[in-house]
Chain A
């Protein structure tokens, strides 16, 4: 096994594991803001109990997200030193900007969000929560921006230096708004919102199945349901579709691999479910005639380029790209179906509480949503191969030249063990927290909610009880 192969394995492993957590930081953050607003409007204590419960889950998720995120930032330097030199001027600035603008916001206000329930009044607590949720989205914005530059580089020039060729900035605004950036960030945000809503649906459905915390669980389920169905419809028909359109224009060979298109085809069909046979250059499955041409180019007669129109050494790994993509879109369709079903059953005579298989389906939803999200990133990243920066730098040329295979094998081993332990502990503790459920307000509240400082002035004059850590 070569250093390149091992470094790719390590990056794929650590990035996939890391990306379990950020969608929850964004999506659950948004849902916590929703719950906070409902509490302010209704003053019904069950919403406050919900906030106390979910904030604890959020803290756990956030901490693991940060810890595994540091790994990602360091790996560019440790394993991809040639890449780091090549893109430092551009990619580095976006990472630094993420730190300055977004990450401090999240990290700084997280403490107020996690420990603010008994120190701040509901409005100030909600404000802290909203800032953390905003920070999580803002953070993703910079990261997706940096990744979009790798997919569709713009605003750069390549110049020789004493240490090889490097990409230099010619226009910061073109670097920020590369052709793929806007469609991709909308796609990523929407998927995160789906994950957040799905997590609430899963846990609430579980409580209903177990006949516990019924008032809180049912209210929580009915709050998350409309968000889930709306986001899943928007994702499938609008943001996901727009993303495919963008790939069709900017990375046609990636699209060909995603859809298993071998020859140039006009009125190209879209394979809804299928398998790809690389040896015989054939794609089997259920196909909808002309749909791919329509989705990619808004014209049923448009020609979709096939893989054979591109040099073989620019093909991404076809099977991985094809299947990751299909896992994602198939789940995307399933989400719309279960979203509509759930909405119907939950709001039409509240039938859902009696239908146990439907509730179990919702318990499963969070795992499906996470799977779809990771599959999406696999599509984007495997589909970009063999390039690390699209058509500018190959992944094989990007690795650090001073690494030997055993070192990377050792670190891969370390991450496998560490992340396995981390994941088991995470699931174990999450389960324990969920089993325990939302506490009663008497357990959570030290001081009556009305005596907490709830304006800037109160907080900074120390009125209404002094803040404690």
Chain B
């Protein structure tokens, strides 16, 4: 396996890490207005992610840094080509941070409801933007000979991309709901429990549509699967995770369901990554202009140094992240320094 392949896998792992870790706190934000009805419940919602959401966002920063270091040409094309969308991502990310931090600082009802709304809308916005961006990556973008694209905003909002955007919202809401079921109590928990089957159904339908649309409209994503049919084990495993997660939810084994929902997110992302391989950005102008993990990568010595850095650093990251989650395990109880 070449360094480029290793870094492709690692990059997908890091993006999956982001979607799983920040995914549940985005999901909590998406559900915020629907499940939590009064100030106490909303505080419990916020505090369920309180000690961890900042750390979860680091996965996004890491994904950005790794893309910059391992595939600088893709980083440059993608970020500059999606300029407006990127600025919107930054806007909603900042608004979300501000909402979480500032909500509890005053006790006025209007102040708090306003920030609740900002928190919820920003969480929706991030999920939608990520999904739409991903949809465009799946369909390809107008990359030219120089490796740059000049897309117009309307073209980015294709029905296919929007479908993936909405599916992402449903997926993260589901993930967040399962997380909340481990963290909440009483009426709030009862409402969360009612949402889980609905979200599962919505997500399942939307995701089936995405798969169908991908196979029918964008046949390039199925080439790798036709060549190596055994790879279908990855999407099959993702499907299995959804089904077993459903069973676990019915048995109220929420921790197992959460692990399965995380595995499902990783499975879906890897299924897409297999479809894209070896492209990172497909050109709709000419496939000769595709940016791949080979022509867009850093040199082997950089990739080697980065690999060493990752091998030293990541075990520690996983170890202490696990430790922190362990310390904050159990259902939320509000205290004097809670949000």
On whether the two chains bind one another, the answer is yes
Contacts of B227 in A (CB 8 A): none
- The residues of A that contact B317 with a CB separation of less than 8 Å are 100, 104, 108
Complex: A71 Cα to B57 Cα, angstroms: 13
Our count of residue pairs bridging A and B at CB distance below 8 angstroms stands at 265
Least CB distance from A388 to B in Å reads 14
**Out of A95, A108, A401, which one reaches B324, CB within 8 Å?**
A108
Residue on B with the closest CB to A453?
Answer: B327
A422 to B97 Cα, complex, angstroms: 11
Flag whether A84 is at the interface (Cβ < 8 A): yes
In the bound complex, CA of A116 to CA of B114 (Å) = 28
Cα separation A91 to B64 with both chains bound (whole Å): 13
Q: Per-residue 0/1 for A57-76: is the Cβ within 8 Å of any B Cβ (1 yes, 0 no)?
A: 00110111011111101101
Instruction: Tell me whether A84 and B68 are in contact (CB under 8 A).
Output: yes
Across the interface, A108 reaches (CB within 8 A) one of B62, B86, B321, B332, namely B321
Chain B 81-101, CB-CB to A under 8 Å as 1, else 0, gives 101101101110111011011
Which listed residue (A89, A90, A414) contacts B87, Cβ 8 A? A414
A84, A92, A95, A162: residue with the most chain B Cβ atoms closer than 10 Å: A92
- The answer to whether B223 has its CB under 8 Å from any CB of chain A is no
Please provide the chain A residues from 86 to 114 with a CB less than 8 Å away from any CB of chain B in the complex.
87-93, 95-101, 103-112, 114
- Is the CB–CB distance between A59 and B65 below 8 Å? no
Q: Contact between B329 and A77 (Cβ–Cβ < 8 Å)?
A: no
Contacts of B336 in A (CB 8 A): 118, 439, 443-444, 446
Residues A70 and B93 in contact in the complex (CB < 8 Å), given A81-B79, A93-B69: yes
**A interface SS class:** helix
Please judge, given known A-B contacts A77-B80, A115-B337, A402-B80, whether A469 and B65 are in contact too, CB under 8 Å: no
Specify which chain A residues have a CB less than 8 angstroms from the CB of B81 in the assembled complex: 402
Q: CA–CA, A172 to B305, complex, Å?
A: 8
Q: What's the nearest-Cβ distance from chain A to residue B159, in Å? A: 25
Task: Tell whether, in the assembled complex, residue A111 and residue B62 are in contact, meaning their CB atoms are under 8 Å apart.
Answer: no
> Which of B87, B93, B100, B320 has the most C-beta atoms of chain A within 10 angstroms of its own C-beta?
B87
Do A89 and B302 touch across chains, with their CB atoms under 8 A apart? Answer: yes
Among residues of A, the one whose C-beta sits closest to the C-beta of B153 is A407
Binds B, one of A36-44, A251-259, A306-314, A459-467: A459-467
How many angstroms between the C-alpha atoms of A469 and B28 in the bound complex?
A: 15
Which residues of chain A come closer than 8 Å to B12, judged between CB atoms? none
Decide if B94 touches A422 in the complex (CB within 8 Å). yes
Given contacts A89-B302, A112-B327, A115-B338, A104 and B321 within 8 Å (CB-CB): yes
The distance from the CB of B37 to the nearest CB of chain A, in whole angstroms, is 20
In the bound complex, residues from chain A placing their C-beta under 8 Å from that of B337 are 52, 55-56, 114-115, 117-118, 444
Interface contact A76-B299, CB-CB below 8 Å: no
Tell me the complex Cα distance, A112–B91, Å.
27
Q: Which of B56, B71, B299, B316 contacts A168 (CB 8 A)?
A: B299
Question: Considering residues B298, B299, B327, B330, which has the most beta carbons from chain A within 10 angstroms of its beta carbon?
Answer: B327
0 or 1 for each of B21-50: is its CB under 8 Å from A? (1 = yes) = 000000000000000000000000001101
Q: Which residue of chain A is the closest to B328 with respect to CB atoms?
A: A469
User: Chain B residues with Cβ under 8 A from A56's Cβ?
Assistant: 337
B61 within 8 A of A: yes
Closest beta carbon of chain B to A69's beta carbon, Å: 8
B76 nearest CB across to chain A (Å): 4
Rounded to whole angstroms, the CA-CA distance of A109 and B324 in the bound complex is 7
CA distance A433 to B105 in the complex (A): 8
B side interface size, CB within 8 A:
80
Note all chain B residues with C-beta closer than 8 A to A9. none
Instruction: Kindly name the residue among A410, A439, A460, A467 whose own CB sees the greatest number of chain B CB atoms within 10 A.
Output: A467
B73 within 8 A of A: yes
A93 contacts B54, CB within 8 Å?
Answer: no
Provided the pairs A117-B337, A402-B148, A414-B87 are in contact, do residues A103 and B72 lie with their beta carbons within 8 angstroms? Answer: no
Contact B55 A93 (CB under 8 A): no
Tell me if B149 is interfacial: C-beta within 8 Å of chain A.
yes
> What does the 1/0 interface line of B182-203 toward A look like (CB < 8 Å)?
0100000000000000000000
> In the bound complex, do residue A77 and residue B54 qualify as a contact, i.e. CB atoms below 8 Å apart?
no
Determine the residue in chain B with the shortest Cβ distance to A163: B147
A interface vs B, CB < 8 Å? 52, 55-56, 59-60, 62-64, 66-71, 73-74, 76-79, 81-82, 84-85, 87-93, 95-101, 103-112, 114-115, 117-120, 162-163, 166, 168-170, 172, 400-403, 407, 410-411, 414, 418, 422, 425, 429, 432-433, 439, 443-444, 446, 459-460, 466-469
New contact pairs (19) apart from A104-B58, A460-B326, CB-CB < 8 Å: A70-B94, A73-B65, A74-B89, A88-B69, A91-B68, A104-B62, A107-B54, A107-B58, A108-B317, A108-B320, A109-B320, A112-B51, A114-B51, A115-B50, A115-B51, A163-B147, A400-B80, A402-B149, A432-B105
Please, could you name 18 A-B residue pairs with CB atoms under 8 Å apart, sorted by A? A62-B54, A68-B94, A69-B61, A73-B61, A77-B78, A81-B79, A87-B72, A88-B72, A93-B69, A93-B306, A104-B320, A110-B54, A111-B51, A111-B54, A402-B80, A443-B336, A446-B336, A460-B323
